[in-house]
Amino acid sequence: MEKGKTIRIALAGNPNSGKTSIFNRITGAHQKVGNWPGVTVEKKTGFTDFKGYRLEVVDLPGTYSLTAYSLEERIARRYIIEEKPDVVINVIDAGNLARNLYLTTQLLEMGADVVLDLNMWDEVCKSGADLDLEKLEELLGTPVALTVGHRGEGVDTLLNMVVELVENQSDRHRHVPITYGSHLEHVVKGLATLIEKGSSVSNRYPPRWLAVKLLEGDEEIEKIFSDDNSANAELKGAVEAACEHIHKTTGSDPERVISENRYGYIDGALREVIREKPRDRMELSRQIDLVLTNRLLGYPVFLVLMWLLFQLTFSLGAYPMNWIETGVEWLAGLGTTAIPPGLVHELVVDGVIGGVGSVIVFLPNIMILFLGVAFLEDTGYMARAAFITDRIMHFMGLHGKSFIPMLMGFGCSVPAIMTTRTLESRKDRVLTTLLIPLMSCSARLPVYILFAGVFFPDSAGNVIFLIYLTGIVVAFLIGRFFCKILFRGEVAPFVMELPPYRWPTLLGLFIHMWERAKIYLKKMGGVILVASVVLWFLGAFPRNVDYSVDYDAQINSLESVGTPEVETQIAELEAAKAAESIEKSYIGRLGHLVEPVIRPLGFGWRMGVSLLTGFVAKEVVISSMGILYQVGEETEESESLKEALGDPRHGITPLIALGFMLFVLLYTPCVVAVIAVRREIGTRWMFFNVLYQVVLAWMVAFLVYQGGMLLGLG
Ligand code: GDP
Ligand code: MG
């Protein structure tokens, strides 16, 4: 290959082997994210210039194998076979060689030019393992690089090996056949020869690989052959005979025998390569798992961890929340003095600062929640959570794999819904997507924090925990229900990955937290700002209100008295005037329009308006309330919202507050999430989703309120 040419590189590896970390290190800022043709699986591509070459890199989907069972596997292998990248960098978790090399054997068999990247090398060093790397290079016929992906160590050496490989200077590279043990080997060879002789297909694919795939009963490859009539009949017969032979001699099916032999091959190789057994990282993990994934202990530990997380979110978050509140108040004060009274003043102070300010105070809570989730994820606990929930997920016809998207739903439904792409069956994707919005996303947290803080001040953390729990329980019941009436069918089995526990790095935690917090902040600047302004407009117009009382005259006459006693009277009059003005505004009319529907829930029109506006983004529920309830109390912006909600004048009781929180939990997700639902599962399901959630929310709030009243709790 000449200098200045492009080298096309594909990154292949198991999930969590560090592919994306390596990809990021290689390509830096030159990345493009799109979809693989025809499917909604993310495709990351990027490039960099290295030693006079242009390296174009593709981050293939993470897979354990390259069969045709899952979408990811099909994408990865099609890319390697059909696009023929110049080099495949096979990223491997070096602490877990035996399992990771399984994919390697298949890459080699496909005839790819592989550079083996033993990633997570830091952990291997820590474990005290001693590997004979030259031996490994020799046995597999591939250059071996050592990297620490998230720190970028060894990436240059890795790229050097890639360049060396294409320049053909690498004497470490030769195509080594993966052998299958004497019995099987014989069969594979025979078939490969037959394929090579009789079929044009073998011009395009390595015959040995085709032979193995046919033995495995790979449908995609079978189809390629049936499209190619020349060799079909004879080959088909030979494959059938071979399969039967394997079946008879081993007593199990060829696919299994092949996979066992691959592991045998790897075991054999590793026995020569590993000089010193590592202090087994998996062993310690296994010990911990005896408790954490225990049939009895697993669930309570999970619940306690979640409970702790929400307690922390609420109690620890209260401190920075106060600081931000003070900041917002200061800003509002500044606006009040700096801008002369009038429309602009109202727009800035009430609309922008009031609306965005009442949402931004919850940022610390959300950051703490995200930090906690990042911690649980990075340590490897989340994978355990998926594991222990597998059996429960079966209850609604799903399995543990759907647990991760659902769990992500606690952050934000939108990315969560997008990760349902990784699920294999359409039924799983649809059902999981429908249930994700029931996982209380972080946008709803401000509503709970506010209401629980005002109406359940002594047990706010518990109430919030309970709300989240309700979401989960309802999801289970609904899931079960949908599974029974909408979908029937088998649950496809799959392996639950249990990576070893890791102590997370501080930087890693913050990066993962920040990735999510960024979404929240972006929303604040965009959707919520716009919504706040629109809301303010709807609340401030029309201007020429027909007041029932001539407030101005009364205030004027009181002001002329000028004694301190009338001060409170004046304040009350001003509040009443503002209240009437907003009631007669567009937003007030809207509220009165929906009032009959929500009256059986105990909600007033202001709550109705807030819920309507919450469709834009759930945080906007709070912004609306900020605008609707803070009328006439322009000092101490956010403090007054709490006071106003608790004010008996508005008639919100703890029972109503509870119903309201549940309604916010259960009703239609925000518009962005609805769009995501449509993109993933289609328009009809989107409408279904919106409808079922509104009905569900209404019914639950109804039951809570009416039931509570019957019990005399109101
Ligand atoms: P992918 O699923 O293969 O794309 O893997 P990622 O690149 O997302 O990495 C998975 C996790 O492993 C992340 O938390 C990384 O920070 C971490 N990681 C990546 N490379 C290394 C490494 O070399 N050593 C250690 N200790 N962690 C790593
Ligand atoms: Mg990745």
Q: Is residue 468 part of a domain?
A: yes
By the 8 A CB rule, do 187 and 245 touch? yes
* Predicted local distance difference test score (pLDDT) of residue 711: 87
Residue type (1 letter), 62: G
Q: Is residue 426 part of a domain?
A: yes
Q: Is residue 37 part of a domain?
A: yes
Q: Is residue 464 part of a domain?
A: yes
Q: Give the pLDDT band (50/70/90) at residue 638.
A: very low
Q: Is residue 444 part of a domain?
A: yes
For residue 225, how far is its CA from the centre of ligand 1 (angstroms)? Answer: 39
pLDDT at 14 over 90: yes
Q: Is 13 in the pocket of ligand 1 (CB under 6 A)?
A: yes
- Residue 28 sits in a domain whose CATH number is 3.40.50.300
Say if residue 137 is in the same domain as residue 187: no
Say if residue 257 is in the same domain as residue 341: no
pLDDT at 695 over 90: yes
Say if residue 351 is in the same domain as residue 255: no
CA 140 to chain centre: 37
Q: What is the mean pLDDT of residues 700-704?
A: 95
Angle between helices 254-273 and 133-140 (to 10 degrees): 140
Distance between CA atoms of residues 520 and 665, nearest Å: 18
For residue 120, how far is its CA from the centre of ligand 2 (angstroms)? Answer: 14
Residue where a domain terminates, one of 550, 583, 616:
583
Q: Give the pLDDT band (50/70/90) at residue 636.
A: very low
Distance between CA atoms of residues 239 and 338, nearest Å: 85
Q: What is the pTM of this model?
A: 0.53
* Predicted local distance difference test score (pLDDT) of residue 378: 80
Say if residue 134 is in the same domain as residue 194: no
Rounded CA Rg of the chain: 31
| Among 52-66, 152-166, 322-336, 357-371, the least confident range | 357-371
Q: Give the pLDDT band (50/70/90) at residue 276.
A: low
Distance between CA atoms of residues 575 and 593, nearest Å: 23
Residue type (1 letter), 598: I
By residue count, the chain amounts to 714
**What tokens does 74 get?**
């099909």
What residue's CA is closest to ligand 1, atom 19?
18
Say if residue 397 is in the same domain as residue 460: yes
The predicted-structure confidence for 450-497, as pLDDT tens digits, reads as follows 999 999 988 888 999 999 999 999 998 999 899 888 876 655 555 556
What residue's CA is closest to ligand 1, atom 4?
20
Angle between helices 318-338 and 637-646 (to 10 degrees): 110
Distance between CA atoms of residues 83 and 208, nearest Å: 19
- Closest to 447 measured CA to CA, from 464, 461, 459: 464
What mean pLDDT value characterizes the chain?
Answer: 83
For residue 277, how far is its CA from the centre of ligand 2 (angstroms)? Answer: 29
What residue's CA is closest to ligand 1, atom 5?
18
Say if residue 240 is in the same domain as residue 324: no
Q: Is residue 510 part of a domain?
A: no
Say if residue 53 is in the same domain as residue 134: yes
Distance between CA atoms of residues 319 and 74, nearest Å: 50
> Domain total for the chain?
4
- Residue 191 sits in a domain whose CATH number is 1.10.287.1770
* Predicted local distance difference test score (pLDDT) of residue 637: 44
**What tokens does 335 get?**
């606006």
Q: What is the mean pLDDT of residues 119-134?
A: 88
For residue 124, how far is its CA from the centre of ligand 1 (angstroms)? Answer: 14
Distance between CA atoms of residues 272 and 135, nearest Å: 7
Q: Is residue 696 part of a domain?
A: no
Could you give the angle at the alpha carbon of 280 between the alpha carbons of 277 and 282, nearest 5°? 140
| Among 93-102, 132-141, 222-231, the least confident range | 222-231
From 19, 20, 21, give the residue whose CB has the most ligand 1 atoms within 8 Å, as the site to mutate: 21
**What tokens does 614 get?**
């919450």
The DSSP code sequence of 75-143 is HHHHIIIII--SEEEEEEEGGGHHHHHHHHHHHHHTT--EEEEEE-HHHHHHHT-EE-HHHHHHHHTS-
Residues 6 or more apart in contact with residue 222 via CB below 8 angstroms: 214
Place of tokens 């696009």: 83
* Predicted local distance difference test score (pLDDT) of residue 494: 56
| Among 52-56, 111-115, 170-174, 336-340, the least confident range | 170-174
Q: Is 500 in the pocket of ligand 1 (CB under 6 A)?
A: no
Q: What is the mean pLDDT of residues 8-31?
A: 91
Strands 274-276 and 87-93, by their bridges, are: unpaired
* Predicted local distance difference test score (pLDDT) of residue 603: 92
Ligand 1 nearest atom to the CA of residue 508, by list position: 16
By the 8 A CB rule, do 30 and 46 touch? yes
Angle between helices 620-629 and 605-613 (to 10 degrees): 150
For residue 149, how far is its CA from the centre of ligand 1 (angstroms)? Answer: 6
Distance between CA atoms of residues 148 and 154, nearest Å: 7
Q: Cα-Cα-Cα-Cα dihedral of 530, 535, 536, 541, to 10°? A: 130
For residue 97, how far is its CA from the centre of ligand 1 (angstroms)? Answer: 15
End-to-end CA, the chain: 80
Measured in degrees and rounded to the nearest 5, phi and psi for residue 311 equal: -60, -45
By the 8 A CB rule, do 107 and 84 touch? no
Place of tokens 């449509």: 678
Q: Report how far apart, in Å, the C-alpha atoms of 409 and of each of 453, 700, 702 are.
A: 24, 21, 25
> Residue 144 has what DSSP assignment?
E
- Closest to 62 measured CA to CA, from 123, 17, 127: 17
Ligand 1 nearest atom to the CA of residue 502, by list position: 26
511 or 152: which leads in pLDDT = 152
3-state secondary structure at position 179: coil
What residue's CA is closest to ligand 1, atom 24?
120
* Predicted local distance difference test score (pLDDT) of residue 635: 46
What residue's CA is closest to ligand 1, atom 2?
16
Say if residue 21 is in the same domain as residue 141: yes
* Predicted local distance difference test score (pLDDT) of residue 561: 74
By the 8 A CB rule, do 666 and 689 touch? no
* Predicted local distance difference test score (pLDDT) of residue 282: 67
Domain range for 197 = 182-276
Place of tokens 């209100």: 545
Q: Which long-range contacts (CB under 8 A, 24 or more apart) does 604-613 make?
A: 604/650, 604/651, 604/652, 606/650, 607/652, 607/660, 611/663, 611/664, 611/667, 613/531, 613/535
Say if residue 248 is in the same domain as residue 358: no
* Predicted local distance difference test score (pLDDT) of residue 47: 92
Say if residue 245 is in the same domain as residue 133: no
Q: Report how far apart, in Å, the C-alpha atoms of 95 and of each of 122, 125, 131, 231 are.
A: 9, 9, 11, 44
For residue 286, how far is its CA from the centre of ligand 2 (angstroms)? Answer: 25
Say if residue 125 is in the same domain as residue 186: no
Residue where a domain terminates, one of 460, 485, 510:
485
Q: Is 59 in the pocket of ligand 1 (CB under 6 A)?
A: no
Say if residue 323 is in the same domain as residue 460: yes
pLDDT at 55 over 70: yes
Residue where a domain terminates, one of 534, 559, 583:
583
pLDDT at 238 over 80: yes
- Closest to 123 measured CA to CA, from 104, 100, 106: 100
Q: Is residue 101 part of a domain?
A: yes
By the 8 A CB rule, do 620 and 528 touch? yes
* Predicted local distance difference test score (pLDDT) of residue 497: 61
